[in-house]
Structure 1
Amino acid sequence: MDWTLEVVVVPVSDLDASIAFYRDKVGFDLDHETTNEHMHVAQLTPRGSGCSIVIGSLPSQNEMAPGSLRGLQLVVADAEAARAELLGRGVEASEITVFDERDGGTFFGFADPDGNTWAVQQIRARGDKPLIPVEARGRFGAE
């Protein structure tokens, strides 16, 4: 049986500021924002990813302190280009560190406004062989 990771809940203190950060600065796609009598949440997906983040006021989010999530990991084909893109959008990012010269050993990091931290790993092979084929990308009818 296959098990897929589809959503990670990220605890934040300000939904609107977090949407603006992840959508406008980091470049995630806003899949939807839902408000009803039970919740106010947004789902965002990194381009090329099969897994999304959910931020807002779900009960599980209310049990976690904003900024308490550490080391979520993104993968890119080119760490230098990804870091430059984030810096150009106003995101503070650490310097690139090469832990191992082999593919997969290069990292940098950043944090959201609440202090949830992200590691960005370079795997050059993703440039030639993405996990999610381009023709299969897009959620909720949006690309």
Structure 2
Amino acid sequence: MDYQLELIVLPVEDVDRAREFYRRIGFREDADYVGDDDFRMVQFTPPGSACSIAFGTGISAAEPGSVENLHLVVEDVVVARDELLRRGVEVSEIFHDEDGVFHHAGGERRVPGLYPGRASYGSFASFRDPDGNEFLLQEVTERYPGR
């Protein structure tokens, strides 16, 4: 049995503001459904992704901006960061973790710059949507076996 992650719900306060943000950064708008009783579901898909995000009213009880560490895997973190900056997004400087395995929570043990030798899975940059939901760009140039 395959279990394919295809949708992540993001809690947002202002649906139209979030919709404009995700349009601006180049995500594809898949749906904007308005139902009865103050229900609305908006869905976007990042370029090249099999997993989408959704947000709206009446679809999540989570606190707006409470999602952390959603990874957007990119082939070149420098190019991806520059593209987001051109689109008006505030993006962190590129960093890697001092342990070199994965990033620690809350920015602890972050070392400025690309991972030494630019090894796959090691370099990151982060940004937040207008509500504070956090995304990490992660550079992956060569996948681990079976991935």
* TM-score category, normalised to shorter length: 0.7 to 0.9
Match of 2:31 in 1: 32
Distance 1:125 1:21 in 2: 30
Deviation at residue 57 of structure 1 after TM alignment: 1.3
Match of 1:90 in 2: 88
1:111 aligned onto 2:128? yes
The structure with more radius of gyration: 2
Distance 2:137 2:80 in 1: 9
More helix by share: 1
Distance 1:73 1:23 in 2: 18
Match of 1:120 in 2: 137
- The percentage of counterpart residues that share the same residue type is 44
Corresponding letter in the other structure for 1:87: L
Deviation at residue 41 of structure 1 after TM alignment: 1.2
- Give the TM-score of the pair, scaled to structure 1: 0.82
CA-to-aligned-CA distance 1:109-134 (integer Å, 9 cap, x gap):
000111111111001238xxxx8xxx
Corresponding letter in the other structure for 1:89: R
Distance 1:111 1:117 in 2: 4
- Give the TM-score of the pair, scaled to structure 2: 0.80
Corresponding letter in the other structure for 1:53: I
Structure 1: which 4+ aligned runs deviate by more than 4 Å? none
Mark the runs of 5 or more structure 1 residues left unpaired by the alignment: 132-143
Corresponding letter in the other structure for 2:30: D
